[in-house]
Amino acid sequence: MKMQTMLLAAAIALAPAAGAQTDPALQQTVSGDEQIAHGDAVIAAGHVDLGTMFVDGDLTMLARDDSQDPPVWRELNDVVFQVSDAAKQTLPDTGDFDFTGAGAGEDVWVIPQTEVQGVPWLGWNTQAPSLLERSSNGVSLEFGGHEGEGEFSLFLQPGGFHEPQLLWTSQVDGTQPMWVEPNTHTHANWVFTEPGVHLVGVRAVVKDNDGVTHTDEQIVRVAVGDGTDPAQARTATFAGPFRGGEAAAEEETQGGGQYTGLLVALGIGALVIALIALLLVRARKGRA
């Protein structure tokens, strides 16, 4: 266990930039022949990516399960990621990771940026052929919210002397969108400060080559700690709402209101101009 903890610490502290495709561990090819598997799955170890594709014309976010051969895609509602105490890590005394919501010297559970035996290795990719055929614009991944005990954060550790790059955190409001270039494969650190059932909302937004925007929202289900039954995570309900839904509606309403106000202002302005013109004409006639 001590050796595994040391390996996990190295996975966080010394990992190369997750977006660097020169990392051999991130080299992969996603085939259009890969099947969508149906049925419940508990993933306690091995490589899995969140990925978007078009299925019957609709944008769909799935989990590409590469923990088996050949890889298959799974509906996220069918998947529970089981994060055992093998993923437990004690934060260093430096305070560099206070942004996780846990203090120096406290324990957290980490799905790490680089693969560690006995722990799920969860990343994301934009490599599905059906996605690349419809869109060359990349994908925006948005944080839909976190439900569970403690705090959740997602961050990249570039390595060397670079500071961690925080992508998502439950401690900050908003969707915290991150842009993912097309045909790329990335891994990061998923950190939970407390054991238990955790639900993480993820929204994918894609603009296709015709300029049409497609959106899909999914829940990543995680059972954290040896004492957490994956069945609890499977049946848990995300109370919601997803972050950004109300804000987007409000923005749309405000935008409509501003547009309507502009039309009203233009109408009033035109009326004033017409009235001034009429008065000028009458004044000229009076002088004549």
Q: Where along the chain do its domains lie?
A: 29-239+261-266
Cα separation, 57 vs 256, whole angstroms: 29
DSSP-derived secondary structure letter, 77: G
Asked if pLDDT for residue 86 goes beyond 70, the answer is: yes
Structural contact between residues 139 and 180, judged by C-beta atoms closer than 8 angstroms: yes
3-state helix, strand, coil in the chain (%, to 5): 25, 35, 40
Structural contact between residues 141 and 203, judged by C-beta atoms closer than 8 angstroms: yes
Question: Model confidence over 2-55: pLDDT tens digits?
Answer: 444 444 444 444 333 334 345 777 889 898 999 999 999 999 999 999 999 999
Torsion of CA 47, 192, 217, 239, to 10 degrees: 140
Question: Model confidence over 196-220: pLDDT tens digits?
Answer: 999 999 999 999 999 999 999 999 9
Asked if pLDDT for residue 257 goes beyond 70, the answer is: no
Verdict on whether the full-model pTM lies above 0.85: no
> What is the mean predicted confidence (pLDDT) over 136-162?
94
Structural contact between residues 61 and 140, judged by C-beta atoms closer than 8 angstroms: no
| pLDDT > 70 in the chain, percent | 76
> What is the mean predicted confidence (pLDDT) over 228-245?
95
| pLDDT > 90 in the chain, percent | 70
Structural contact between residues 138 and 127, judged by C-beta atoms closer than 8 angstroms: no
Residue 112: closest CA among 103, 101, 124, 121: 121
